[in-house]
Every structure is written in C-alpha cells, then in structure tokens.
C-alpha cells in the first residue's frame, strides 16, 4: 500500500456514529497535510468555552438531536474560508442532511469535492462501540473503556480523564442512530448519483480500515 500523500484532497467522510470517522479522518488529514474539520469537535469546543454557539448547541447535542442547518452551514462556510483550508480538507460530521450537502456544493463550486467516503459498519457493531467509548476531557482522544492504557482512569497523552460523552448514553445513541438513518443515510445515494461515492468497509483493525480508505482515495485521485 502506498503511503504517498494526496496534497489538496477534498474529502467528506460519512458513516454512522461509532463507524470510526473521527479516527480515520484524523489519520488521512495528517497524511495529506490538510486540516481535519470535525463539526462535532468544533461544537464540543464551543460548548466547553461557553460561546453563544456553545450555549445554543449544548442541549441539542446532549439530546442527540441535530443543530439547525443554517447554523451548521454558517460554521462550515467560515471554516472553509480559513487559510489552511485552501490546501484541501477532510470533513467529518458535515454534511449530515441533504440541505447541508446542497449548501456544501454551493460553498465549494470553485474547488469541488474529490470524493465522499461512506465508512460502512452495521448498527449492532456501532452500538457496542459507542457504549464502550471514552473520550478524554483534556485532549479529546477516544479510547475503548477496557483499554489497559486508561485502566487508572487517566489519559496517558495529557493526564486528563477519559469520560463517557453525554450523548453516548443509551437513549441519546438510539436517537442519533435514528436521525442518521432518516437524515444522513440519504446522502449516500445523493453522492452516488453525483459519481463521488466510495464505500469503505469499516470493520477490522484501525490499520486495515485505513489501508482501505487510502485505496479509495488513490482510486479517486489517480495515485497508484
Ligand atoms: P457522532 O458522529 O458520534 O454523532 P459528532 O461528533 O459528529 O458525533 O457530532 C456530535 C453532535 O454534534 C451531533 O449529535 C449533533 O448534535 C451535532 N452536530 C455535529 N455535526 C453536525 C451537523 N453537521 N449538523 C447538525 N448537527 C451536528
């Protein structure tokens, strides 16, 4: 498998909650030297900092609901105008509705998407993954609850505390998966229709999935 970077790649990663989007998007962004833009991370940072956006988003996120399209479209539009996004980007968590996908099309007319990856993992697997995931309250690294590295309750990277996200409680997980099926799953067909879709099997080790993801990017960007 090639480890060649793909400078300037513009990619959306779709997938159910717990499919591994965040981890894979971060690795791909590091390899391609482009920013990893996670709307969930941006919203969680706003909640932590208590900004007006954070105050608005907090309860919506805790319930597992979606932040309104106009708010999200504004955030992503601003973010994609920043200097570092000129080189390309990996979008994770956006778009999540057909309205957001259409807006992204308008925002990116000058530098359109190269590909959309659907990271495919079954419902049963993601429910298990989400209920056992712990997120460090310091550096946001995600761990499995039974990871020996956090057996003492401390994040080995920053000394923070790995915790269960408020929206990773069972009721909110169910709600987010329902909303995913209703609002976000239709984007798979939307992007297939535009000829941009690459399906990547999200089962297996992190490295195995990353190799498949790279093969999909290679396929689209013409790197052998
Ligand atoms: P997950 O994929 O596990 O739901 P994310 O970190 O992507 O986690 O998102 C967490 C929450 O942030 C979502 O449940 C939703 O409330 C909000 N959110 C993130 N991105 C969007 C978006 N594009 N549109 C609406 N709400 C969003």
Strands ordered across the beta sheet of 115-120: 36-38, 89-92, 10-15, 115-120, 197-201
| Highest mean pLDDT (candidates 49-58, 121-130, 164-173) | 49-58
Per residue in 151-207, pLDDT (tens digit) is 999 999 999 999 998 888 888 888 899 999 999 999 999 999 999 999 999 999 999
The pLDDT assigned to 167 comes to: 85
If you take atom 9 of ligand 1, which residue's CA is the nearest one? 40
Q: How far apart are alpha carbons 102 and 100 in whole angstroms?
A: 5
The pLDDT assigned to 5 comes to: 61
Query: Which listed residue (133, 134, 212, 220) is catalytic?
Result: 133
Of residues 222 and 57, more confidently modeled: 57
Residue 182 a catalytic site member: no
203 CB near ligand 1 (under 6 Å): no
Residue ranges per structural domain of the chain: 10-204
Residue 133 a catalytic site member: yes
Using the predicted structure, report yes or no on whether residue 224 has a pLDDT greater than 70: no
If you take atom 18 of ligand 1, which residue's CA is the nearest one? 40
Return the number of other C-beta atoms located less than 10 Å from residue 185's C-beta.
Answer: 14
Q: How far is the CA of 94 from the centre of ligand 1 (A)?
A: 8
Superfamily of structural domain 10-204: P-loop containing nucleotide triphosphate hydrolases (3.40.50.300)
Nearest to 114, CA basis, from 200, 215, 8:
8
0.75 exceeded by the pTM?
A: yes
């Amino acid at each position: 498998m090639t480890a060649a970077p793909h400078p300037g790649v513009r990619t959306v990663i779709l997938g159910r909650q717990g499919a591994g989007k965040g981890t894979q998007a971060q690795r791909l962004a590091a390899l391609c030297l482009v920013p990893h833009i996670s709307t969930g991370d941006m919203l969680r940072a706003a909640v932590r900092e208590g900004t007006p956006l954070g105050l608005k988003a907090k309860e919506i996120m805790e319930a597992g609901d979606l932040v309104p399209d106009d708010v999200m479209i504004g955030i992503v539009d601003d973010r994609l105008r920043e200097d570092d996004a000129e080189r390309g980007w990996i979008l994770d968590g956006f778009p999540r509705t057909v309205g957001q996908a259409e807006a992204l099309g308008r925002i990116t007319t000058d530098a359109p998407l190269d590909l959309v990856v659907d990271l495919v993992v079954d419902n049963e697997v993601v429910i298990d993954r989400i209920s056992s995931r712990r997120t460090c309250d310091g550096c946001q690294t995600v761990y499995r609850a039974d990871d020996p590295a956090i057996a003492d309750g401390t994040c080995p990277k920053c000394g923070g505390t790995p915790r269960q996200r408020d929206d990773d409680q069972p009721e909110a997980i169910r709600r987010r998966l329902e909303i995913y099926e209703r609002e976000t799953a239709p984007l798979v067909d939307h992007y297939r229709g535009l000829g941009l879709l690459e399906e990547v099997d999200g089962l297996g080790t992190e490295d195995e999935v990353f190799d498949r993801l790279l093969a999909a990017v290679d396929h689209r960007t013409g790197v052998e």
